[in-house]
A = this chain, B = another copy of it.
Amino acid sequence: MQDFGDTAAATPLRIGVAGLGNVGATLVRILQKDAAELTKKLGRQIVVTAVAARSRSRDRGIDISGLDWFDDPVALAKSDGIDLFVELIGGEDGPAFAAVKAALEMGRPVVTANKALLAKHGVTLARMAEESGAQLGFEAAVAGGIPVIKTLREGLGSARIAKVYGIMNGTCNYILTRMGNEEISFAECLKDAQALGYAEADPTFDVEGFDTAHKLSILATLCFGYEIAPDKIHVEGISKITQHDIKVAADLGYKIKLLGIAQRSDDGIEQRVHPTFVPKGSAIAGVDGVMNAVALETDHVHELLLAGPGAGGPPTAASVMSDILDIARGTRVPPLGVPSEELLPFRQAPMRAHEGGYYIRLNAKDVPGALAAIATRMGERSISIDSVIQRSDLKAKDSTDDGVSTRTVVMITQKTLEADVRAALAQIRADGFIVGEPQLIRIELL
C-alpha cells in the first residue's frame, strides 16, 4: 500500500507546542485523544513530546506530566526532541517571532495561529522557510476555524481573484448583530460582549478594525501576490455606529457589517476595513453573531463564501491540526501561495479613488435653505442622490450651542468617487449648515 507520509513515514512526527492557552491546551488534548485515529488516517504516528508556556503548574485540564517542559519557547523550537514546532504564544515580535525564526532557520516546519506575526513578518518568514526547505502553516491565523488559507493557496486552481472581503472579527460582528436585533447602543453591546468574554478589557484593537486589518493584509497577499502591507489599509472601526444608522439601514434593506475588503483597481490594490451597508438578502448579511465569513470573487463571476467560527478553542485547534496533518503528509506549498521572490511590491490604490455608494448622515441646522445648500454642494461634485430620508423618529435630539435645533438628514448616493464625497462634505461643513461630524458609511452591493 502507498504510504501518505514523507520519506520518514515509519517514524512518528514529534510535535512541540509553545503557548498553552485555550487553543494550545485544546490542541494537546486532541493530539492525545485522537492519536490512534490519526495514525490510522496517516499511516504515521503524531505525538506531542514537548511544550513551553509561562506557568508549569497551571491547571489546563490536560496531562503534560509525560512531556518535556521548556520555559523558553526558543529552546523548544530548537530542541532535538521535536520535528515540528507549533507557535501559539501570540504577539508580533518577542518570543513568538524569535522561536518561529529559530525553527525555520534549521529547516524545521512551523505551524502558527499568529496573525500579528504573519502580518508584520510574513514575507520574511516565508523566505526563511523556502530557503531552508521548511513548511510554514498558518490556517488558524485568519478566521480561526474556516479553511480559507488552504482554499486560497491550493483550492482555487489558477482562478484570478478580483476581490476578497469578509467578516473577520467576531467581537464586531457580535456587537453589530445585537445592535441590529435590539435597540441598544454600541456602548451597551460592548459591555455585554466583554461580560461574555467576546471582547477584551481594552477592545480598541478589535472594535477599531485593526484586528480585521491584520487578517485582511494576509488574505490580500494570498489573493493578489503582493507583499503583505498591513499599514497600507484604510481602517475605520464600528464605535461610531449608532441606532440611527442601524435603523435607516434596515429600512433601506441593508445590514451594517464591519468588512475587510481588498480588490484590484486600476490604481493598484484597494485595502480597506470599515462598517459597510450590505444588502439584507446577500449571503454575507446572514453571517451573524460571532461567526466569521470570507468571500471571494474571481474574474469568472465565480463567487465563493466560506462561513464558520472565527475563534474558539476547538475550531482554531482544528485548523492548526489541518496544517500539522498536511506537513505530516509531506505536502509542500509556498507559504504565501507563490514563492516569496515572486511577490510584487505592494501598490496601494488611494482611498480617494474608491468608487461606490455612500450613506451620509448629517445633523442639519433647522434653518431655511439648509437642505438646499447641502444639495447644491453635492450637485456641484456631480454626486447623484438616490434617496433623502428625514424620519421624524430619527430627529436629532440635540440642539446646537447657539440654540438652533437640528434635524437628521440621511442621503444615499449612487456610485460616486470617494474624493468627490469628501470634498462635498468638507464644503458643507465649511458652509456652516451642519453640526458635528457627518457620518459616512460605504455601501457594497455584494
A324 interface contact, C-beta 8 A: yes
The interface bits of chain A over 105-149 (1 if a CB of B lies within 8 angstroms of the residue's CB, else 0) are 000000000000000000000000111110000010000011100
A interface SS class = mixed
Residues of B within 8 A of A324 (CB): 157
Contact A332 B4 (CB under 8 A): yes
Contact B4 A325 (CB under 8 A): no
| Alpha-carbon separation in the docked complex, A320 to B341 (Å) | 27
Contact B330 A329 (CB under 8 A): no
| Alpha-carbon separation in the docked complex, A76 to B33 (Å) | 47
Stretch among A64-72, A302-310, A357-365, A425-433 lining the B interface: A302-310
Contact A318 B331 (CB under 8 A): no
Q: Which residue of the partner chain, among B298, B317, B319, B333, contacts A318 with CB atoms under 8 Å?
A: B298
A155 interface contact, C-beta 8 A: yes
A194 interface contact, C-beta 8 A: no
The interface bits of chain A over 314-327 (1 if a CB of B lies within 8 angstroms of the residue's CB, else 0) are 11011111101110
A95 interface contact, C-beta 8 A: no
Contact B282 A158 (CB under 8 A): no
Residues of B within 8 A of A317 (CB): 157
The interface bits of chain A over 221-244 (1 if a CB of B lies within 8 angstroms of the residue's CB, else 0) are 000000000000000000000000
| Alpha-carbon separation in the docked complex, A342 to B39 (Å) | 11
A43 interface contact, C-beta 8 A: yes
| Alpha-carbon separation in the docked complex, A338 to B2 (Å) | 12
Contact A41 B338 (CB under 8 A): yes
* With contact pairs A304-B145, A305-B307, A305-B308 given, residues A333 and B329 touching in the complex (Cβ less than 8 Å): yes
Contact B304 A131 (CB under 8 A): no
| Alpha-carbon separation in the docked complex, A287 to B281 (Å) | 9
A40 interface contact, C-beta 8 A: yes
Contact B304 A157 (CB under 8 A): no
A166 interface contact, C-beta 8 A: no
Residues of B within 8 A of A151 (CB): 147, 150-151, 155
| Alpha-carbon separation in the docked complex, A156 to B309 (Å) | 12
| Alpha-carbon separation in the docked complex, A334 to B325 (Å) | 13
Of all chain B residues, the one with the shortest Cβ separation from A151 is: B147
Contact A156 B322 (CB under 8 A): yes
| Alpha-carbon separation in the docked complex, A1 to B325 (Å) | 24
Contact A302 B318 (CB under 8 A): yes
Contact A147 B158 (CB under 8 A): no
Of all chain B residues, the one with the shortest Cβ separation from A135 is: B2
A286 interface contact, C-beta 8 A: yes
Residues of B within 8 A of A34 (CB): 158
Shortest Cβ gap from A346 to chain B (Å): 18
| Alpha-carbon separation in the docked complex, A339 to B9 (Å) | 15
Contact A309 B314 (CB under 8 A): no
Residues of B within 8 A of A308 (CB): 302-305
Chain A to chain B contacts (Cβ below 8 Å), 8 pairs: A4-B339, A157-B317, A157-B320, A157-B322, A158-B318, A283-B286, A304-B307, A305-B308
19 more A-B contacts (CB under 8 A) besides A2-B132, A158-B325, A283-B287?
A: A1-B341, A4-B334, A41-B337, A41-B339, A43-B339, A145-B304, A146-B304, A147-B151, A151-B155, A154-B322, A157-B321, A283-B283, A286-B286, A300-B314, A302-B312, A302-B315, A305-B308, A329-B333, A331-B331
